[in-house]
Every structure is written in C-alpha cells, then in structure tokens.
Amino acid sequence: MSLSLNLNQIAVRVVGILPRIPEIHIAIPNIFQRRTEASTETHDPRILELIENLQDAEVPPFFIDNGILKAAPKKKVSHMKRRQKLYGPGKKQLSLLQNLNRCPACGNYKRSHTLCMHCVGQIRRHWNDSVPQQEAFREEFVNPLDEKILYPGKKELPDERTLRKKEWLKRRPRTLPVE
C-alpha cells in the first residue's frame, strides 16, 4: 500500500501538469455466495456495520477488526502463581537418596549395587600409570645455537596453562565418610 502511495506521489511530481485520472472501484458480487436473511440475523450488529462500511468506502479502513477482540489471557500470571505451577509439584523437586551404602574399600558413602567412583578411579589410574609409555621424540642438537634459532623460546600464558590443566572441567566430588 505504501509503495503505491509513493508511486502516486512520484507521478504527481513528475507529471503535475496532466489532469489526474480518477481511480475506479467496481465491486463484483460473488455468485456462489448464498445470502439469506436468516444468516444475517445471527451476525453481530458490529460486523454488519463493518460490512456496510467496507462496501461504501473507497479505501478499506486501517483497523479492520475494530472493537472485536481475539482469544487472549485476561490477566498477567502473577509471580506467586507462576512459581507455584513451575516449582511446586513434588515430582519436580530434588528427592533424597535412600539407596546408600558404605564403600568397604574406603569407608565413604556410595550408591548400592554400584562401585565407588573414587576407588575405581584410583585403580584405573594405577593401571594406566603401570603401562610403560613411550617417551616423546626429542631432537638432539650438537650446537645449542641451532635449537635457539629453530625453536625460539615460547612462553606459556596463564590462560593457556589453565587450559592445559583442564581446570574448566567439572569434577565429580568425593562422597562424605560414613559416621
């Protein structure tokens, strides 16, 4: 609509001298539409008024659904009600663990029918350490100057060090000792 308006303005500016041709609107009646008196009676009077206005007016009005509202919540949900709905039910809350045992190997709590993760981690670390690992290949230089030129000393930045240590990883906390 705005585009057509602009075009009109441009046309007026360019050929302002020429007389303006009036726009023609012809309402073509729909043949298939059945119009009975009974159906019109059931309509809201505001709708009938709107239809009349639409037929008479040259340009359709901007607010088409004047005075008629669509389905929408009547009021904003309050803070209390929202929190009651989201966090109130017992299903959504954290529940206490009832299936707890004492780990016979370290004396701390563990889940029943599972292994204690601390002891498992200790054993696995021992396995991995006991495997003989190949030493990383390192070049040997006769002249130490060559090494300095080829591989100038690289400083490790503090944020790089934290990345290497993997401090950003979430670790499993150790369970409490059984009283």
Partner 1 sequence: MGLGRSVKHEWAMLRNLASSLIKNESIITTKARAKKTQALVENLITKAKKNYDKSLILADIFEPNVTIPKLYNVLKPRYQSRAGGYTRILNLEPRMNDKAPQVIMELVDNTQREMKLWYTAKIVARLELQNIAINPLTQKNVDKLLHNRENGEEKFREIVEICKKEFYSDPKSLENLPRMRNDINTFKKRDHPYKIVPRPVKRNNATVSTSS
d(CA 98, CA 112) in angstroms, rounded, equals 9
Rounded (to 5) percent helix, strand, coil in the chain: 40, 5, 55
Q: Which of Zn ion, partner 1, none interacts with 101 (beta carbon under 5 to 8 A by kind)?
A: partner 1
Length of the chain: 179
Identify which range of 34-42, 52-60, 98-106, 127-135 contacts Zn ion by CB under 5 A. 98-106
Q: Which is nearer to partner 1, 135 or 179 (CB)?
A: 179
Q: Please choose, from the candidates 122, 89, 90, 91, the residue with its C-alpha nearest in 3D space to the C-alpha of residue 105.
A: 122
The C-alpha atoms of residue 95 and residue 32 are separated, in whole angstroms, by: 65
Binder among 106, 109, 111, 175 for Zn ion (CB under 5 A): 106
81/124 with CB nearer Zn ion? 124
What is the C-alpha to C-alpha distance for residues 110 and 177, in angstroms, rounded to an integer? 10
With H, G, I as helix, E, B as strand and everything else as coil, classify residue 96. Answer: coil
- CA–CA separation, 12 vs 21, rounded Å? 11
Tell the smallest beta-carbon distance from residue 151 to Zn ion (Å): 45
Minimum gap (Å) between residue 135 Cβ and partner 1: 22
Interacting residue ranges for partner 1, rule: CB under 8 A: 100-108, 111-115, 117, 119-120, 122-123, 126-127, 170, 172, 177-179
Tell me which of Zn ion, partner 1, none is bound by residue 114, counting a contact when its beta carbon lies within the kind-specific cut-off of 5 to 8 angstroms. Answer: partner 1
Nearer to partner 1, 102 or 147 (CB): 102
Does position 103 interact with Zn ion (CB under 5 A)? The reply is yes
Cβ neighbors of 25 (< 8 A, separation 6 or more) are 58
Residues 116-135 that bind Zn ion (CB under 5 A): 116, 118-119
- Partner from partner 1, Zn ion, none contacting 147, C-beta within 5 to 8 A by type: none
Amino acid identity of 37?
A: E
Binding stretches for Zn ion (CB under 5 A): 103, 105-106, 116, 118-119
